[in-house]
Amino acid sequence: MLRVGFIGLGAMGLPMARNVARAGFPLTVWARRREAAEPILAAGASWADSPAALARDSDVVITIVTNSPDVRQVVTGPDGLLAGAHEGLTIVDMSTIAPTVSRKIAAQAAERGVQFLDAPVSGGTQGAEAGSLTIMVGGDAAALERVRPVLEAMGKTIIHVGPSGSGEVVKLVNNILVGVIGAATGEALVLGANAGIDVQTMADVIGASSGASWQLANQFPLRVFSGSFQPGFTTDLLAKDLGLALDLADEAAVPLYLTAVARQLYTAAQAAGYGRDDYTSVVRLFEEPARAELRVPPGRTGQ
Amino acid sequence: MLRVGFIGLGAMGLPMARNVARAGFPLTVWARRREAAEPILAAGASWADSPAALARDSDVVITIVTNSPDVRQVVTGPDGLLAGAHEGLTIVDMSTIAPTVSRKIAAQAAERGVQFLDAPVSGGTQGAEAGSLTIMVGGDAAALERVRPVLEAMGKTIIHVGPSGSGEVVKLVNNILVGVIGAATGEALVLGANAGIDVQTMADVIGASSGASWQLANQFPLRVFSGSFQPGFTTDLLAKDLGLALDLADEAAVPLYLTAVARQLYTAAQAAGYGRDDYTSVVRLFEEPARAELRVPPGRTGQ
Amino acid sequence: MLRVGFIGLGAMGLPMARNVARAGFPLTVWARRREAAEPILAAGASWADSPAALARDSDVVITIVTNSPDVRQVVTGPDGLLAGAHEGLTIVDMSTIAPTVSRKIAAQAAERGVQFLDAPVSGGTQGAEAGSLTIMVGGDAAALERVRPVLEAMGKTIIHVGPSGSGEVVKLVNNILVGVIGAATGEALVLGANAGIDVQTMADVIGASSGASWQLANQFPLRVFSGSFQPGFTTDLLAKDLGLALDLADEAAVPLYLTAVARQLYTAAQAAGYGRDDYTSVVRLFEEPARAELRVPPGRTGQ
Amino acid sequence: MLRVGFIGLGAMGLPMARNVARAGFPLTVWARRREAAEPILAAGASWADSPAALARDSDVVITIVTNSPDVRQVVTGPDGLLAGAHEGLTIVDMSTIAPTVSRKIAAQAAERGVQFLDAPVSGGTQGAEAGSLTIMVGGDAAALERVRPVLEAMGKTIIHVGPSGSGEVVKLVNNILVGVIGAATGEALVLGANAGIDVQTMADVIGASSGASWQLANQFPLRVFSGSFQPGFTTDLLAKDLGLALDLADEAAVPLYLTAVARQLYTAAQAAGYGRDDYTSVVRLFEEPARAELRVPPGRTGQ
């Protein structure tokens, strides 16, 4: 059975690590602050004193941290994973970072004989808890096959999307759509609410029409119509990802008009203090000028 | 059995009228040019010499024409439907027009004792042919119940969304989402294609992720990945609807940033000669600068 | 000496009419509410009981009203100017309206033997008071020459820009720039103010650099840096003009990305309650999220 | 007399260095490729073998290079200017780079007892040649006074705008306006040209109206109406600067809607192959869909 190391025990990482442990894989963890690891240690995981030590004791190391510098430090920094490189080690980075950075780290890993896969996920904290994430994997296809059982503990749809960096590209393409569709659904529904249309009715009709989307069906009822705006996926993180997507497009000289505007809307949401709320809180920016709220009374359910 | 009149035998109207006839309703039609009616006359429908004559012989009249002036003329013009008003007549206008115009016409109809429902549809030519349209109905709820059997011959989901004009509002809200999601899906996928990601793979992954939408699942494979761009729903019509949505928002002082930008993208598509192609041809605007095409070879199927 | 009729005694029209009277032209006025005319009647102008009566007593009639329906009614409505048509009558419409409407009215006037020039202005209430307006004239060049002395009482720069409707087109082109440059100057300066740069210093430097504009040099000190936001030219009127420009572009299938976004920003300013303030109040939308204000203490002057 | 060192002999730097030499300052230069320095060496300047050597022989060093990494390397790299630090040395960086990078380099310089001013310029190659640049200076005011005579050889308006980094902030604010006004002037004029208005007439009228700007008065006649698109200031450089401005705004959570859209328009211009042409070539993107060209026949002059 593959021995698994895990770094990044945040809102996504912790339930993912739990699912790995539940599937029976021997699990070792490391965290900058040991407190973050307590829940998973209590559930039987082992502790390593550094990423390097973690790597030495693992066949597969999963990393899911905040941004490019974090991944760089954990993998290539002093006492990082590559300092514990050994034959047969595979690193699966599930963070969302710049594809170019991911490719560079993969090249450094290859020099040490280590496989590095970029494998970002979609599905949010719910998907992480349910083990139903979609995982988009870039890098060596054979390496993916070896670690697939571990990924299957965390996700339902695991797709090899191309060479190193491709997983990150596909994730950014997806998150462009999260950002634009999320904001557009907000501005569109608010127009209807301003005109007096019942919010749940509108959601029912459009959910059965050509304007339907995963977000309207899932995120809006849970986060917006309920008024909770509980993350989920924060405005700060989505703004970061849209920035990465725009940087990628800039390098490739590909204009992205809607993405650019959506990004400014999330920046405005950050300025309004919604950075740590769910990204769907962008709708509050639209609600105020439209004198209308996208709320559905509890108990009122879709048709 | 309700006697049905039908005006507007275009790409949407003709298959809808056929479904009404198939369901066994006695059908009378009128068209500006009689040739347009030949197929449905050949299938057994009767001909009326004017909208007024059509109204006299019908319990329910369906209209589905291009724009506000067309509806005005057919309903309130000389020899229009209201000139044939009689007790129990209900007009069901399934065109997409300005909600304010729809409300005014409904008020004029009411003065003549005629019910006027606004009942625009979603589902495109496919939905029209399959009788699986979503129909969003504004106006008197009891009048809707009386004509519901006729609507059920054309659509699968028929929802009363509020008083007069509400159907049009919900349709415009839906079509904002068609316009923004359609263009955003194009610009996002093109970025991935430029980075070398296989188009079908990207569609598979995102279709199982938070960026998923009805359009990605349905319109893109059929119209874009195939390279056909066969309408469906033309760029000209979508541009018109986005214009109506922006006018509605302008009257209500509701800003619509993404809608405004999307509308300019469809204007650019019109300028590039794609007005009568499917609205998804907007992706061609993105393909050229990105030096990438969103095509999937025939035979290559989704996972 | 040409006898002048004048309709439209608003914030622009009243000082313009005064300048015509001061230049010695015999002046007759009409207004929907006679009170609006009191100041100019007190200054010696005559009163006419209807537009038709006004036309009968004038060689030149100036109109400067709010929108297309107003011009239509005053010129072609019952008891309108054309009802008082006589040989040698020239109507000079200085309103900002849709070019297509202007062309149609000119054609109707021509049928009655009346010259109709479209001659919108730039310069704001200050320019109206100082008699220093820029006047952009569409229509018959010889007719312009005949009425030029009257226009010279109101403006400094009077340019024939082409056939009927051309004045309106050039005005809309100008007002696109007013809208976009005004909002862009706001968003740019606010970024600098957020970073701690002194507002007056920034204005001095950029005023001497490639970002300089008439608005930065004139409108910003007077309306924004002072905090007055006194119109000038209201947000409502600018939003209307941007709408006309977008409609013109839509008819011509010309995409206008920046105009479309700017228009939504002014819509947002209307939603925030700034419709009757000067259009530069759009900067307040930027000030709040940026936690910075574009104000210069009184007495602090540019370099 | 201050001994001046100069690094960055490009399209801007070379004429600036010439003006310094002409003003009588002893001049030493260094360049990555010595060929770049030949013209100024021929004019009497001395050569230094490294930035460090240049610093040792200078009281003031001017740098004007492409981007943040270039400045970092030249100043703080091995054998960079700081390796030649001595009492009384002042570095004046006239490049356009990120304010945060500029501040960091200034701090490193301060540790070595060296003053580092950020002093970017406006005025383009014409201003560089004419010695009429606007120079916006951030950093120690007393240090600016000491080097002012050198700056006066290159510029006409030299303004101290605040502490370290402020010069860069003001430059980015200015270049936001260059980007947005440049593109907006293009899209607006193209709309008029599509409607048949004579381009020079339009420029005359708007130049005397509220839509006037430095760019319409200067750049458009020279680069656009002439059809030359000769840089000046390239699309690539403006796109870079807009990117820096958006990054600055992102850090500060300040939304910039128009800037974001303008940036995508310049990205589209890069994609169309205009990266090394003057930034005004963005108008070509608008000309094609509008079937209109902003050209004025030679000999046809403004009024």
E-only strand ranges, chain C: 4-7, 27-30, 46-47, 60-63, 90-93, 115-118, 121-122, 133-138, 155-162
pLDDT in tens, B112-149: 999 999 999 999 999 999 999 999 999 999 999 999 99
Asked if residue A303 has pLDDT above 80, the reply is no
Sign of the Cα torsion C199, C205, C211, C212 reads positive
Q: Are B94 and B63 in contact (CB under 8 A)?
A: yes
Tell if the CB–CB gap between B124 and A210 is shorter than 8 Å. Answer: yes
Tell me the ipTM for this assembly: 0.95
Tell if the CB–CB gap between A180 and B175 is shorter than 8 Å. Answer: no
Which of C173, C174, C205 has its CB closest to that of D159? C205
Residues 6+ apart with CB under 8 A from C277: C229, C230, C231, C234, C235
pLDDT in tens, B232-267: 899 999 999 999 999 999 999 999 999 999 999 999
What percentage of chain A has pLDDT greater than the value 70?
99
Q: How far is B74 from chain A (nearest CA, A)?
A: 27
Strands B121-122 and B133-138: antiparallel
pLDDT in tens, B213-235: 999 999 999 999 999 999 989 99
Q: What is the pLDDT of residue B300?
A: 76
Give, in order, the Cα–Cα distances in Å from C209 to each of C212, D49, D72, D174.
6, 35, 27, 7
Q: Are A165 and A175 in contact (CB under 8 A)?
A: no
Asked if residue B39 has pLDDT above 70, the reply is yes
Searching chain C, which residue's CA lies closest to the CA of residue B236?
Answer: C253
CA distance C112 to C87: 9
Q: How many residues does chain B have?
A: 303
Which of D257, D289, D290 has its CB closest to that of B257? D257
Which of A136, A162, A172 has its CB closest to that of B196? A162
Residues of D classed as catalytic: 171
Both tokens assigned to D164: 């370290």
CA distance D274 to D284: 9
Nearest by Cα to D189 from B250, C278, C180: C180
Residues 6+ apart with CB under 8 A from D111: none
Structural element, H or E, at residue A133 = strand A133-138
Q: What is the pLDDT of residue A300?
A: 76
- pLDDT, average across residues B61-88: 96
- Can you list the alpha helix ranges (DSSP code H) found in A156-278? 166-194, 199-207, 214-217, 219, 235-252, 257-271
3-state DSSP assignment of residue B93: strand
pLDDT in tens, C236-279: 999 999 999 999 999 999 999 999 999 999 999 999 999 999 99
Q: Are A269 and A284 in contact (CB under 8 A)?
A: yes
Searching chain C, which residue's CA lies closest to the CA of residue B266?
Answer: C255
Q: Are C295 and D261 in contact (CB under 8 A)?
A: no
Which residues in chain B are contacts of C254 at CB distance < 8 A?
267, 271
Nearest by Cα to B201 from A122, A120, A161, A163: A161
CA distance B17 to B19: 5
Taking residue D300's Cβ as centre, other Cβ atoms within 10 Å add up to 12
B262: left (phi over 0), alpha (psi -120 to 50) or beta: alpha
At B303, the pLDDT band (50, 70, 90 cuts) reads: very low
Q: What is the pLDDT of residue A211?
A: 97
Q: What is the pLDDT of residue A64?
A: 98
What's the pTM value of the predicted model, to 2 decimals? 0.95
CA distance B68 to B124: 20
Q: What is the pLDDT of residue C109?
A: 98
Which residues in chain B are contacts of D257 at CB distance < 8 A?
257
Give, in order, the Cα–Cα distances in Å from B160 to each of A189, A276, B103, B121, D149.
17, 38, 16, 12, 77
Q: What is the pLDDT of residue D303?
A: 47
- What are residue D86's phi and psi, to 5 degrees? -150, 165
Strands C133-138 and C121-122: antiparallel
Q: Are A146 and A90 in contact (CB under 8 A)?
A: yes
Residues of A classed as catalytic: 171
Taking residue C66's Cβ as centre, other Cβ atoms within 10 Å add up to 15
Residue type, B281: S
Q: What is the pLDDT of residue A299?
A: 80
Tell if the CB–CB gap between D290 and B271 is shorter than 8 Å. Answer: yes
Asked if residue C301 has pLDDT above 90, the reply is no
Give, in order, the Cα–Cα distances in Å from C116 to each of C3, C91, C113, D199.
16, 5, 10, 24
Which of B249, B257, B268 has its CB closest to that of C255? B268
Average pLDDT, chain B: 96
Average pLDDT, chain A: 96
- What are residue C266's phi and psi, to 5 degrees? -70, -30
D161, D191, D198, D241: which to substitute to probe chain C, counting the most C Cβ within 10 Å? D191
Any chains having at least 3 CB pairs less than 8 A from chain D are A, B, C
pLDDT in tens, A203-215: 999 999 999 999 9
Residue C278 DSSP code? B
Which of B123, B185, B208 has its CB closest to that of A177? B185
Q: Are C261 and D257 in contact (CB under 8 A)?
A: yes
Q: What is the pLDDT of residue B144?
A: 98
Residue type, C295: R
At C303, the pLDDT band (50, 70, 90 cuts) reads: very low
Tell if the CB–CB gap between C290 and D169 is shorter than 8 Å. Answer: no
- pLDDT, average across residues C86-105: 97
Residue type, D210: S
Tell if the CB–CB gap between A268 and C290 is shorter than 8 Å. Answer: no
Taking residue B133's Cβ as centre, other Cβ atoms within 10 Å add up to 29
pLDDT in tens, D195-231: 999 999 999 999 999 999 999 999 999 999 999 999 9
Any chains having at least 3 CB pairs less than 8 A from chain C are A, B, D
- What are residue C7's phi and psi, to 5 degrees? -130, 125
Q: Are C238 and C178 in contact (CB under 8 A)?
A: yes
Q: Tokens 């490719």 — which residue?
A: A103
Residue type, B167: G
Q: Which of A154-163, C292-301, D109-118, D269-278 has the lowest mean pLDDT?
A: C292-301
What's the per-residue H, E or C state across chain D? CCCEEEECCCCCHHHHHHHHHHCCCCEEEECCCHHHHHHHHHCCCEECCCHHHHHHCCCEEEECCCCHHHHHHHHHCCCCHHHHCCCCCEEEECCCCCHHHHHHHHHHHHHCCCEEEECCEECHHHHHHHCCEEEEEECCHHHHHHHHHHHHCCEEEEEEEECCCHHHHHHHHHHHHHHHHHHHHHHHHHHHHHCCCCHHHHHHHHHCCCCCEHHHHCHHHHHHHCCCCCCCCEHHHHHHHHHHHHHHHHHHCCCCHHHHHHHHHHHHHHHCCCCCCEHHHHHHHHHHHHCCCCCCCCCCCCC
Q: Are D223 and D126 in contact (CB under 8 A)?
A: no
Nearest by Cα to A66 from A229, A236, A219: A236
- What are residue D234's phi and psi, to 5 degrees? -80, 155
Nearest by Cα to C302 from C198, C190, C185, C197: C198
Both tokens assigned to B56: 């006299």
- pLDDT, average across residues D65-94: 96
Asked if residue B5 has pLDDT above 50, the reply is yes
CA distance C167 to C105: 14
Name D46's bridge partners: D28
Which residues in chain A are contacts of B161 at CB distance < 8 A?
197-198, 201-202, 205
In chain D, which residues touch A (CB < 8 A)? 239, 243, 249-250, 253-257, 260-261, 263-265, 267-268, 270-271, 275
CA distance C169 to B33: 37
Asked if residue D286 has pLDDT above 60, the reply is yes
Q: What is the pLDDT of residue B235?
A: 98
Asked if residue D160 has pLDDT above 60, the reply is yes
